[in-house]
Structures are given as C-alpha cells and as structure tokens.
C-alpha cells in the first residue's frame, strides 16, 4: 500500500487540497467554523447537563469536550469517506486509480480539522486549570485504533 501511495502521491495531495478548499468555499467564517462548531455544541451540552440535569463535577466541560472531540473526528472521517466514494464514482469508471485514495484524502482532511480543534482543546484545558499529564497521550489512542476501519483498502474477491 505504501508503494502505491507513493506512486499516486501527487494525486493524493491534490485530492486533499481540493477537499479542503471545497469544504470552506463559500463560507463566511471559513476555517473558523471548524473551531466554532464544536465549541457551540459544547456550550449547549454544558448548559443542558449542568443547568437542567444538575451535573456539577469538576472539569466536567473538559471531559465532555474531550469525548466530543474524538467522536466528531470519527464521525466526520467516516461519513465524508463514504460520501467521497459515492461522489467520485464516475471517476472510478473512467480512470484506473485506487479507490482508497479518496477515502484516505477525506481522513487526512478530517485529521487536519481534528488538529485545529485539538489546539482549542488544549487552550480550553489551560483556561479550566487542568493539569497536563502523560494521560493526554491517551486521547490519541481512539484515533489510532480507528485508522484500520477507515483507511485500509478492502480486497475484493474475484
């Protein structure tokens, strides 16, 4: 797979650029929306769980943000990956290129968005006075564990 990815590296880079530009094309906020959307969702969830359900736990919003961060990354990468296969089906019939390049490009785009929101998460942790420990590395475990489910090429039976 690595050799094929290296062979099609130019196409892969162009797919990532295209997807990134396409996502923020015709938006007023642009890349800021990738940061604002999880923060607004977090604000709503905080109000609901602290005010209406009476959850009063130290650093609760930070825990909520952490879980939401991982889930939104997984949700974005899987849903956009499947959409890319459906949307680019006409290309597969005309040109002989690996289909997983389209999946992988969407996953890289989702990973870029995850990195942007991860920076906001760390700023949020500083504001919330959360002590940074080695356990923050565990945030990456679900991301790494889901890569084979989202990016691995499927071999078809003949």
What tokens appear for 88 in the block?
Answer: 């680019």
User: What is residue 3's predicted lDDT score, i.e. its pLDDT?
Assistant: 67
What is the pLDDT of the chain when averaged over all its residues?
77
CA-CA distances (angstroms) from residue 82 to 20, 38, 88, 140?
16, 22, 10, 23
Q: What is the model's pTM?
A: 0.74
Give the pLDDT confidence of 103-148 residue by residue, as tens digits: 888 888 888 888 888 888 888 888 888 888 888 888 888 878 776 6
User: What is residue 151's predicted lDDT score, i.e. its pLDDT?
Assistant: 57
Q: Is 156's pLDDT higher than 60? A: no
Domain boundaries, the chain: 2-151
Give the pLDDT confidence of 79-112 residue by residue, as tens digits: 887 787 778 778 777 877 777 777 888 888 888 8
Q: Is 157's pLDDT higher than 60? A: no
From 55-64, 130-139, 144-153, the region with the lowest mean pLDDT? 144-153
Confidence band (pLDDT; 50, 70, 90) for 158? Answer: very low
| Structural contact between residues 76 and 146, judged by C-beta atoms closer than 8 angstroms | no
């Amino acid at each position: 797979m690595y050799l094929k990815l290296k062979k099609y590296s130019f196409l892969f880079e162009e797919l990532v650029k295209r997807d990134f530009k396409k996502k923020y094309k015709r938006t007023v906020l642009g890349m800021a929306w990738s940061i604002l959307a999880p923060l607004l969702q977090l604000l709503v969830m905080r109000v609901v769980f602290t005010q209406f359900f009476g959850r009063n736990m130290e650093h609760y919003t930070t825990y909520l943000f952490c879980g939401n961060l991982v889930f939104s990354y997984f949700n974005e990468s899987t849903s956009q990956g499947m959409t890319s296969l459906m949307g680019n089906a006409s290309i597969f019939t005309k040109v002989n290129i690996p289909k997983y390049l389209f999946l992988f490009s969407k996953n890289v785009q989702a990973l870029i968005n995850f990195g942007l929101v991860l920076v906001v998460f760390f700023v949020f942790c500083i504001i919330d006075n959360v002590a940074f420990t080695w356990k923050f590395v565990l945030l990456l475990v679900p991301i790494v564990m889901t890569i084979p489910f989202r990016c691995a090429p499927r071999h078809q039976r003949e």
